[in-house]
Structure 1
Amino acid sequence: MSSTAKKAICILSGGMDSTLASYIAKNDGYEIIAVHFNYGQRTEQRELKAFRDICNDLGILEKYEIDIPFFTQIGASALTDSSIDVPTEGVKPGVPITYVPFRNGIFLSITAAIAEKEEATAMYIGVVQEDSSGYPDCTDEFIQDMTKAINQGTKEETKIEIKTPLVHLSKAQIVQEALKLDVPLEHTWSCYKEQNEACGVCDSCRLRLNGFKEAGSSDPIPYKAI
């Protein structure tokens, strides 16, 4: 693309949601710059592989792999503290122990710095409000407030829109949309626990598998237990 092409920074974890959001960004006509965060999560290496595979699929040339070591110092989440077990008995009411404190706020802040440097006008994030695990940093209201803060705290000529194309979709709708756009779902990774075969029982696996089931399709990644 030419240097005058509109640019978007896509926060790409390597999961199904962020991958679909990145494909939507491409369909929206943006030149994509991808950003991935290694933050001490249990499946850090597997997510990084997924990120790199998807960047290849999308032909993304410019990407950032950002290390955030302090989440393991903070702990408080089963994703970043190995002494806390990842729950496997299904989604329960309230904010689950897999919630990483203010993770999306920190991701968006770092991405905003990249967006300002790259003169991007959009940031895509695959947050899902209605079918998530109840994370407070996945809501419309939070994203609107972050957008305001980011534009308030950057240069006057910097105008950034945070795009959340999946925020009101169910997991089944996400699967359907991904299939429609030929998203390589076999390259995505959602499991909170395992890096070779997905566990099939953590909240993320359950939501993903249920989405495929409701969409009348089968998940192409390997599972230990279904």
Structure 2
Amino acid sequence: MSKKAICILSGGMDSTLSSYIAKNEGYEIIAIHFNYGQRTEKRELKAFRDVCENLNVKNKYEIDIPFFTQIGASALTDANIDVPIDGVKPGVPVTYVPFRNGIFLSIAAAVAEKENAEAMFIGVVEEDSSGYPDCTDAFINQIKNAINEGTKEATHISIKTPLVKLHKSEIVKKALELNVPLELTWSCYKEEKEACGVCDSCRLRLNGFAQANSKDPIPYKGS
């Protein structure tokens, strides 16, 4: 029987690379995607479906989490809060969605228990994470312990974070090395047709490509 892994897949570059690493490690991938009222929800969903097709994923979940728009508090889910376009600044940015990864991992754990999966892959990146508190190694280790404490005795789930210590340039290089279809991915916080190029996510992505001496294959405004 093949070993199974739940891959939390937003359709962005990091989660996509993480999923390809899972495949290369011999896991049967069960992909999970969350529609949580983010500004680029439709474009991210398209990226998820395109990547799943490329990965030949047979089993996938598209899960709606409507309450994030209800609580607001993030520029990604509240239309009244502007997405910052003036560069990464110290502290937790307004694009942080409260406890998002904790909620994603909790739901993914329920799916993992149902599917008898032994691992969950998530593409968190500590160094380039814009200061999000739910992207750190320490947080992932704590929630892994809580998940295994709160599931059946026979359930043993590891949380794999293959990118957590990498810089964006290293992520780009690794993705190119593994022939990850980066043209299918989407990272922009603001736009769905052409990436804005100025939000934190676009800046981090473009900077990663520049440092890796490579060209980003997705379309950007004005380019």
TM over 0.5: yes
Deviations 1:12-59 (A, max 9, x none): 000000000000000000000000000000000000000000000000
1:58 is matched with 55
User: In 2, distance between residues paired with 1:224 and 1:55?
Assistant: 26
The counterpart of 2:112, out of the listed 105, 115, 132, is 115
* Paired amino acid for 1:211: G
User: In 2, distance between residues paired with 1:36 and 1:156?
Assistant: 27
Deviations 1:120-171 (A, max 9, x none): 0000000000111000000000000000000000000000000000000000
1:102 is matched with 99
Question: Is residue 201–residue 225 contact of structure 1 (8 Å, CA) maintained in 2?
Answer: no
1:182 is aligned to 2:188: no
TM-score normalised over the length of structure 1: 0.98
2:4 is matched with 7
The counterpart of 1:126, out of the listed 123, 127, 133, is 123
2:188 is matched with 191
2:151 is matched with 154
User: In 1, distance between residues paired with 2:5 and 2:129?
Assistant: 24
User: In 2, distance between residues paired with 1:24 and 1:33?
Assistant: 13
- Provide the secondary structure at the position in 1 that maps to 2:15: helix
Deviations 1:81-124 (A, max 9, x none): 00100000000000000000000000000000000000000000
User: In 2, distance between residues paired with 1:77 and 1:149?
Assistant: 26
Deviations 1:181-211 (A, max 9, x none): 0000000000000000000000000000000
Question: What is the RMSD of the two structures over their aligned residues, measured on CA atoms?
Answer: 0.6
- Unaligned stretches of 5+ in structure 2? none
* Paired amino acid for 1:27: N
* Paired amino acid for 2:110: A
- Unaligned stretches of 5+ in structure 1? none
* Paired amino acid for 1:91: V
* Paired amino acid for 1:72: T
User: In 2, distance between residues paired with 1:204 and 1:225?
Assistant: 17
1:70 is matched with 67
Q: How big is the shift at 1:225?
A: 4.1
User: In 2, distance between residues paired with 1:113 and 1:131?
Assistant: 28
1:28 is matched with 25
* Paired amino acid for 1:117: K
Question: Is residue 200–residue 225 contact of structure 1 (8 Å, CA) maintained in 2?
Answer: no
2:162 is matched with 165
Question: Is residue 126–residue 164 contact of structure 1 (8 Å, CA) maintained in 2?
Answer: yes
Q: How big is the shift at 1:176?
A: 0.1
1:79 is matched with 76
User: In 2, distance between residues paired with 1:6 and 1:17?
Assistant: 22
* Paired amino acid for 1:139: T
User: In 2, distance between residues paired with 1:166 and 1:73?
Assistant: 31
User: In 1, distance between residues paired with 2:196 and 2:37?
Assistant: 19
